[in-house]
Structure 1
C-alpha cells in the first residue's frame, strides 16, 4: 500500500454488499480499499438459506419492487457464476384449509412467473404428489403441490469470488483488519485499521467512505465514528439445521407453517438436507449468535408436520445461525420487516459517507449499482455499469455447461472421482483445473486431510482466497466440515497455524 496514497473509496465490510460494491467500483476505474474485520462472509452472508430467489412470500407484504428486481436478477447472476449458482425447482405442497388458499398461491406464482423476465427457468406447474416422487417422503395427506423455479447459491463462495475479482481489478483487499477509527480529515477520510492477528495498525486515506458492515453498521457509526445516536438496523435471527438427506430427488420443498411463517427443505452437499429458516428479533452481539433450543424444536416440529419420517434434534449433524441486518421500518413482526435495502448518503460534514442498510444476496449486484450511482454523484462518475454481462472468477463457461465442465475436469485429472470433480467445479468452475495443475495422481495433490480435501486445494485457498483458519476452509470456502472427523479438522487447523507462522 503506497505511502500517502489517497483512495477514491474505502469500504468497510467483507460481506456480499461490501465485496459487491468494491468489485463494481474497481471495475469502473475507482481506486478502492476494503477492510473486513474477520473472514469474508463470516457473518450474515454465509448464514443465509442459500437461495437466489424473488422472495415469493414478499408479495404478501406488497414488496413488488423488491420482488421484481430479485426475479430479474436470478438469471443475470446465474450467467455470471454458473459454478456457484444453479437452478432449483421448489415443491410447495397444498393442503385444503391451509394457511393460504389455492387461488392466492396461484396468483402469487403467476406474478412470480411473469414479473421478472424469466427466459431459461421453467414455469410453474401443478403436480400430483400421489404419483410424483416428490410425494414419497411426505405424509399422505398432501395430495397436490405447486412446483416453481428459483435458484441455489453457495453464499460464502460468491462473496469471496467478488472479493477476488475486486482484487484482480486493482482493489486493495484487507481481511482480518478491523476499523478502529474513521474521521473526516479535510476533504478525505482518515481510516485506522488494526490487523486482528498481529495487532499492527495503519491509517488509510480515502475521498469517500462506504459503511457496508452489515449487522455492525450501527456499531461502526457509534464506535469508529463516535455517533451514539445510530439506530438504523433491526437484527433478525435466522437459524438452519442440516440432517441426513430426507429424499433422493433433486428438488427442494417450500413449506408453510400455521403461524404464517415459511421454511425450506433443500438438497445439500449430496448427502444432506438443509432445513430453515427461523425469523425472530435478536438483541445480542452478532458475533455470539447461536441457534437456540427453541429454534431447533421449532424447525424439527415444523418439518415433522410434512415429512412422514419425523425430524428429531438427534438427527442434526450441523446447524448455523446468523443475523439479518434489516432496515428498521417499524414492522411489528420480524418476518414482516422489509428485506429491501436502503442507501443513505451523508455529505453534511465534508468527505462523503454512504451507509448501506439491509439487502439480500439476490439483489446485491443491483444494490452495488445503486451505490455506485450515489458514489458517482458524490465524488464524480467513472465508467458505466458493467457487471450485468460479467463473469466471476471460474464462471467463464456456458450457463448450462456444468456437465461439460465436469467432463473436462475428469479428462484433465482422471485420477479423481466424479463426485470430487463435481464438488471442485461447483466451488471453482474453470479454476478447478488450474488448481489441480499438473498432478497425475492423488498423491501429487499433497496431504489428504479427509473427505475430498487435499493440500493442493488448501494451498489455493490460502494463496488466492484469504483462508487463515480451518473454519474458513471447512465451513465457508468448502463444506468439507460435514465430511471430516474432529481429529481430521484438528489436523487441518494445525496445518493452517503452521502456514500462518511460515508466511
Structure 2
C-alpha cells in the first residue's frame, strides 16, 4: 500500500528537523526520513554555539550576522534548558587587529539583528583585574568581552523532531530514501527501513535536506539536474581536561587570521575548535588528522599558561560542513549563509544548500513559506512567536532544579542538575513515578540509569549506545568500556 502525504523531508539534521516541525505546525501531513540517527553527522559536530559569527563581519556578511543575532534571541527563549548565554573573552593582540577595529566590530555585533534584548553588551577589560586573565599568559594585558550563546547541538535537532512528532509528523530514523520519481501529481518515493522492509510513499512535495549529500541525492536518488555544487569543509575539535575554573569562553586570533574557541564543556572539560580543511572523502566518516590536533593544541598554547599536547586530548570529533561553493580560495572564508532552491518543473522539490546551526529556524520558516502556497496551505509562520521546544516552557532552571531536589531529595544532586539542563520541564516524564534510587533501574555508570535510557528509546529515537552516550547526552566522556557494553546489551535486549 502506498502512503499519501503532503511533504517528505529527506535528512534528519537540524535543517530537516526544523522544516518538518514548521510544516506540520501549519497543517501539512509530514514525514521525515533519515538514513542514520538524528543529528548523526554535521549537526552533532559543531562548535556548540548559537552565535552571529563575529568573524563574518570582516567578510562584510552583515546580513548573515544580523539574521543570526536575531535568531539567537528567538532560540534562547525557545530552548533555555539546552541553550545558555555565554560570555566570550577576546584577548587583544595589536599586531593582528587594532583595538579600534575590534571595538567597531563589537559595536556592530551588539546592535545588528534588531539589537540585543537579553544579553549584556561588550566591553573592554584589564586582565589583571578580572578572573578571566589568570589562565592567560603574562603578555596579555587587555581584551574584550562580548555575549553569545552555547547549545547542545544534537539535542536541538532531537527536540525539533520531537515537537514535529507531537504535532503529527512521522519521524523515520535508520530509513534510507532509495529512489524518488517525479510523477504527474507528486513524488513516488521508495524508503528502505533498517530491517530491509520497504515503504512506498506518495508525497505532493519533496525536501532535500541531506546536507553533505545534497548533490548526490539529486544525482543518484532523484536524478534531477542542477546548477549548484557544494564545498565540503571538515571542522575538527578536541576536548581536554578543564583549563580554567570560570564560566567564560575564549576566542583566540591565530597568526593565519583564523579564530579558535576555548569553551567550558560538560563541567569538567574544555572544548577547543575548530579547523577548516577541504574535504573530499566520505562525509559519513570524517576523522581529525594529526596535524589538526597539533594545530588546535598550538592555538591554545599561544594564549594559556598551561600548555596542552595531543596526549592530553580526552576526545575529538570532526564534522563535514556543506558550504555553498563561492569559489573563494580560503575554506575558512566560504560563506556560511544558505540557499533554498525551489524546483517547480513538475511536483515541487526544495533543495537546501549550506546553512549554519544558528539560522536553522529561519531557514525552515523560509522553506515552508515557499512550499505552503504550492500545497494550498495559507497558515502563517509560527515557530518564532513564543512556541518553546519540548522541555523549554520554563526558563528558570535554578527554580526547576530546586523544585526537583525538594520533591525528590533522594536524587543525586549531579544527576538532578544534568537532567534539568538536558530535559528541562520534561524531567518529570523521565522520572515518572519513581520514588527512590532503586527505581532508577540499572546503573551503567556516569550517572546513567535504565529509566533515562528507556525514556530516550521511547521518546527520542535512541537505539544504540552511541545515540545515548554521544548525541542525546555526552556521558561517553565519563562512562567506562564495561558500562558501554552493558548499555548496548540492554538496548539490544529491550528493543
Q: How does 1:137-176 map to 2 (within 5 A)?
A: 137-176=135-174
Does residue 276 in structure 1 map to residue 273 in structure 2?
A: yes
Does residue 410 in structure 1 map to residue 405 in structure 2?
A: yes
Q: In the TM superposition, what is the alpha-carbon distance from 1:418 to its structure 2 partner?
A: 2.3
Q: CA 1:192 to 1:76, structure 2 compared with 1: closer, same or farther past 3 Å?
A: same
Does residue 466 in structure 1 map to residue 461 in structure 2?
A: yes
Q: Secondary structure at the match of 2:124?
A: strand
Q: In the TM superposition, what is the alpha-carbon distance from 1:226 to its structure 2 partner?
A: 2.5
Q: In the TM superposition, what is the alpha-carbon distance from 1:100 to its structure 2 partner?
A: 1.4
Task: Give the equivalent residue in structure 2 for 1:483.
Answer: 478
Contact 2:234–2:319 (CA under 8 A) maintained in structure 1: yes
C-alpha distance in 2 between matches for 1:190 and 1:274: 44
C-alpha distance in 2 between matches for 1:233 and 1:321: 18
Contact 2:401–2:416 (CA under 8 A) maintained in structure 1: yes
Give the alignment partner of residue 328 of structure 1, picking from 321, 325, 331.
325
Any stretches of 5+ residues in structure 2 without a counterpart?
A: none
Any stretches of 5+ residues in structure 1 without a counterpart?
A: none
Q: In the TM superposition, what is the alpha-carbon distance from 1:413 to its structure 2 partner?
A: 2.0
Q: How does 1:58-97 map to 2 (within 5 A)?
A: 58-97=56-95
Give the alignment partner of residue 54 of structure 2, picking from 46, 49, 56.
56
CA shift digits 1:336-376 (9 cap, x unpaired): 1110010001112x111000011111111100111011102
CA shift digits 1:108-146 (9 cap, x unpaired): 100000112211100101111112110111101011010
Contact 1:23–1:162 (CA under 8 A) maintained in structure 2: yes
Contact 1:14–1:213 (CA under 8 A) maintained in structure 2: yes
Give the alignment partner of residue 24 of structure 1, picking from 22, 41, 45.
22
Task: Give the equivalent residue in structure 2 for 1:128.
Answer: 126
Q: In the TM superposition, what is the alpha-carbon distance from 1:488 to its structure 2 partner?
A: 1.1
Give the alignment partner of residue 176 of structure 2, picking from 156, 164, 178.
178
Task: Give the equivalent residue in structure 1 for 2:106.
Answer: 109
C-alpha distance in 2 between matches for 1:230 and 1:443: 59
Contact 1:94–1:144 (CA under 8 A) maintained in structure 2: yes
Q: In the TM superposition, what is the alpha-carbon distance from 1:230 to its structure 2 partner?
A: 6.6
Q: In the TM superposition, what is the alpha-carbon distance from 1:75 to its structure 2 partner?
A: 1.4
Give the alignment partner of residue 286 of structure 1, picking from 283, 287, 292.
283
Contact 1:218–1:230 (CA under 8 A) maintained in structure 2: no
CA shift digits 1:407-435 (9 cap, x unpaired): 11212322122221111011100011221
Contact 1:413–1:439 (CA under 8 A) maintained in structure 2: no
Q: In the TM superposition, what is the alpha-carbon distance from 1:227 to its structure 2 partner?
A: 4.2
Q: Secondary structure at the match of 2:380?
A: coil
Moved more, 216-225 or 260-269: 216-225
Task: Give the equivalent residue in structure 2 for 1:361.
Answer: 357
Task: Give the equivalent residue in structure 2 for 1:420.
Answer: 415
Task: Give the equivalent residue in structure 1 for 2:494.
Answer: 499
Contact 1:412–1:433 (CA under 8 A) maintained in structure 2: no
C-alpha distance in 2 between matches for 1:278 and 1:82: 28
Does residue 382 in structure 1 map to residue 385 in structure 2?
A: no
Give the alignment partner of residue 341 of structure 1, picking from 330, 338, 352.
338
RMSD value, Cα: 1.1
Q: Secondary structure at the match of 1:87?
A: strand
Q: In the TM superposition, what is the alpha-carbon distance from 1:229 to its structure 2 partner?
A: 6.3
| Count of residue correspondences | 493
Give the alignment partner of residue 266 of structure 1, picking from 247, 263, 267.
263
Contact 2:175–2:191 (CA under 8 A) maintained in structure 1: yes
C-alpha distance in 2 between matches for 1:217 and 1:113: 35
Give the alignment partner of residue 203 of structure 1, picking from 200, 205, 223.
200
C-alpha distance in 2 between matches for 1:411 and 1:291: 44
Task: Give the equivalent residue in structure 1 for 2:305.
Answer: 308
Q: In the TM superposition, what is the alpha-carbon distance from 1:332 to its structure 2 partner?
A: 1.2
Q: Secondary structure at the match of 1:387?
A: coil
C-alpha distance in 2 between matches for 1:157 and 1:221: 28
What TM-score, normalized to structure 2?
0.98
Q: Secondary structure at the match of 2:257?
A: coil
